[in-house]
Structure 1
């Protein structure tokens, strides 16, 4: 590469304009949150916006059967290509950066390289994956690329309101079965890289401009039911109750102990949702249903935690005279990022004078799915006060610029053909 390419920098004002413009699509005036959930009309408008920006950048624009939007900067060879991207769908009442930042930065990197006239050895492809936020469970776009989608999943995936993915895709003019053709051969891709806000407080608290992700956490989620016996709150003696809520209370107190004994410093466990039935003030709880979200970067630790949580729940059920049952709602394997890609990112950060912090990702990302197919790497930029999935989500422009420049030069090095 020439010295001029080595000194190349992104155009921050263009990144700003893209982020702020896309943030208006799906914006709610009442709560200022963004509602661009997968395959809604707002999501489709966002995809059309992105496709237009890709064409404006004079990149080759396309969309596959899973509605993943791509922009391609052709390389000089047919060597396996480099993918960079993230997603532009959101959770309800979202902020402006989650997913979007990685797509906008990827677009700016390809746009900036094309403007110089430099032709990389390897083709560079921006990809904005569909439904990373899991409206229909999983990560539909990246799972399609990795060949993890089948006709049964297409027919049965629903959102929390019971709306089928199949029907929603048809409503938006897609042939759902075409998602099966979105699968790529592993040998066609050299690696996948993604820039993302951290969505946590670590970088902000350490005053670091950049995180280099070395591992992405795995997770399992359970829907747990403790069944007791609903009875009168006044006439049922305390020692004769089969109180399902007390079982949940016992279990909640067991969570820290189980993490201490069976987890690691990267383990997390969360009871995020609970329902008490019948739900009357004068009735002993006969049924409690609750969620359990457990994460770690080691598959061995996840297995040990699962066994320990089952054992604890069984013991509590016996002691409280309850029935215990659970359904596993999801499982995602942890992924180790490619050491070569991690070192490339760290090297470019060092060259640009940035103090990068190596860290795991506690959230799942498209990189996690892609990591089952090809080598992956991730760049984190700080989240102000650790906030995400909220209109308060934000990252300083200077941190965005720093992360984007590291991504730019990582892509230039990865695409050099070596």
Structure 2
């Protein structure tokens, strides 16, 4: 996970690979790792990248594939002695997975981080971002200096595993993303009353867990009534306290992750979920609290980038599949500032954020070649 000792070791491994390719590297105030191929003109750059942090019990690819494929593209361009008009820069962003509630690295580059956020961002276990940064010898306020002038960036391109089953099921080697989902995440509490499991009658309980159970069953109805076919809602983490087998739960803490490609739909879902939680709390005689942890708006990919990716896919004889992204990515943050494009490669069985995560080498090669040809075209 982001800013753990293992993550920082991964950053050092990446800079070693950049050095081995004969390319320069630097690390900005948000601990984003970068390298570049210099263009011949003082023109806005082409950015390419992804992230190398991950989640607990994850697989080998996720964002890392996009970073490594991007580095390979730069290495190929250098070894072929190709000269491009625009500079191509690779960025490995910090904390895309949102350990601290957002996409810290890309948000820093887009100037979306401020001192108040740096002082208050924490993970689900209460660890403060600024403490983790200082532990690794980093100045938290350095993230403010990572902000880029949007006039210096022409566009951003990202390759990523799909993290879903669509490409695998339709048998397509690459996907071209048209929209990237927006999302919000909440940390929610139901407070009831802990009591003896044997002596407290069922009709006299303020059982916090029953509030969670009621809410979980409400999710399909709320999505049907207020969502779209691209809506998703997930309770991914829950803790029951005091956690004894013979005690009625007095407190339940859980997460809620809600996604859609429409900002209007997200707003409607937010209101519907709040009303449902409040109604359950009243019915079960519980106290309901929630804390917003993150909000990311949906992004439409650039039509020019989509067309360029389609052209290069056809040129390579690849049948590319147009599709939305149900997962959030650094491209989503970058898309608020510059035109963005995304390439997906299939995930076997739709598996991701899991040790079973894998993509066939032939599909990886196909996606990397689309990226290489597109980068050369954009930079030339």
Quickly name the TM-score band, shorter chain normalised.
over 0.9
The change in CA–CA distance for 1:57 and 1:284 in structure 2 (over 3 A counts) is closer
* Match in the other structure for 1:168: 132
Residues 1:234 and 1:165: Cα distance change in structure 2 (over 3 Å): closer
1:373 maps to which residue? 337
Q: How does 1:78-97 map to 2 (within 5 A)?
A: 78-97=42-61
Moved more, 155-164 or 298-307: 155-164
Match of 2:298 in 1: 334
Cα distance change, pair 175–222 in 1 and its aligned pair in 2 (3 A): closer
Cα deviation digits, residues 180-225 of structure 1 (max 9, x gap): 1110011110111100111111111221111111111111111222
CA distance in structure 1 between the partners assigned to 2:377 and 2:110 by the alignment? 25
- Moved >6 Å (runs of 4+): none
Q: Is the 8 A contact 2:110 2:337 kept in 1?
A: yes
User: 2:115 matched to 1:151?
Assistant: yes
Contact kept in structure 1, 2:101 and 2:293, CA below 8 Å: no
CA–CA distance in structure 1, aligned partners of residues 276 and 361 of structure 2 = 47
1:108 aligns to what? 72
CA drift of 1:236 comes to 3.6
Q: 1:308 is matched with which residue: 264, 272, 283? A: 272
- Cα distance, 1:296 vs structure 2: 0.6
**Are residues 178 and 228 of structure 1, via their aligned partners in 2, closer, same or farther at CA, if it must alter by over 3 Å?**
closer
Matches within 5 A, 1:354-365: 354-365=318-329
CA distance 1:175–1:314, shift in 2 (3 Å): closer
1:97, 1:188 → 2: CA distance? Answer: 30
Change (3 A) 1:356 1:78: same
Q: Does 1:134 align with 2:92?
A: no
Q: Which runs of 5+ in 1 are unaligned?
A: 1-36
Q: Which residue of 1 aligns with 2:12?
A: 48
Aligned residue number for residue 287 of structure 2: 323
Aligned to 1:257: 221
Q: 1:408 aligned to 2:375?
A: no
Moved more, 359-368 or 130-139: 130-139
- Equivalenced residue count is 380
Q: Give 2:206's aligned residue.
A: 242
Q: Which runs of 5+ in 2 are unaligned?
A: none
Stretch moving more, 72-81 or 188-197:
72-81
* CA distance, structure 2, for counterparts of residue 242 and residue 159 of structure 1: 29
Q: Counterpart of 1:60 in 2: which secondary structure?
A: coil
Is residue 152 of structure 2 the alignment partner of residue 188 of structure 1?
yes
Distance of 1:374 and 1:264 partners within structure 2: 27
2:176 counterpart residue number: 212
Query: Within 1, Cα distance between the matches of 2:277 and 2:129?
Result: 34
Counterpart Cα distance in 2 of 1:39 and 1:241: 43
Root-mean-square deviation (Å)? 1.9
SS in 2 for 1:99: helix
Superposed counterparts of 1:26-45, under 5 Å: 37-45=1-9
CA distance in 1, matches of 2:39, 2:28: 20
For the structure 1 residues 167 and 306, does the alpha-carbon distance in structure 2 shift closer, same or farther, using more than 3 Å as the test?
closer
> TM-score w.r.t. structure 1 length?
0.86
1:381-417 residue CA offsets vs partner (Å, 9 max, x unmatched): 011112222332211100000000000111111112x
